[in-house]
Amino acid sequence: MAMTEQDHEIVEKITRVLPKMTELQKTKLLASAQTLVMIFDQSASEGEEEARPKDDASKPESA
């Protein structure tokens, strides 16, 4: 997925502010970013599952 203009603006703002942030603020920012990545990864994997043919869902898993 390509970055949008808004994505680039966010990165630029973070780059400008990062040197002025305290260690606690940096830690909180990193935790938020990691949470977003996990959400995006989960959403992407759910989208892949929805794109798969539904035939797999009808087969018993014990077979």
Q: Please report where in the chains the tokens 């990864």 appear, as a residue.
A: 41
Of 7, 12, 2, 1, whose CA–CA distance to 41 is shortest?
1
Q: Residue 63: pLDDT band by 50, 70, 90 thresholds?
A: low
Q: Residue 61: pLDDT band by 50, 70, 90 thresholds?
A: low
Q: Which two tokens stand for residue 31?
A: 């935790």
Of 20, 18, 40, whose CA–CA distance to 29 is shortest?
18
pLDDT digits (tens, 9 = 90+) for 1-35: 688 999 899 999 999 999 999 999 999 999 999 99
Q: Residue 50: pLDDT band by 50, 70, 90 thresholds?
A: confident
Q: Please report where in the chains the tokens 């959400």 appear, as a residue.
A: 39
- CA 53, chain centre distance (Å): 25
Amino acid residing at 14: I
Judged against a pLDDT cut of 60, whether residue 57 lies above it is answered with no
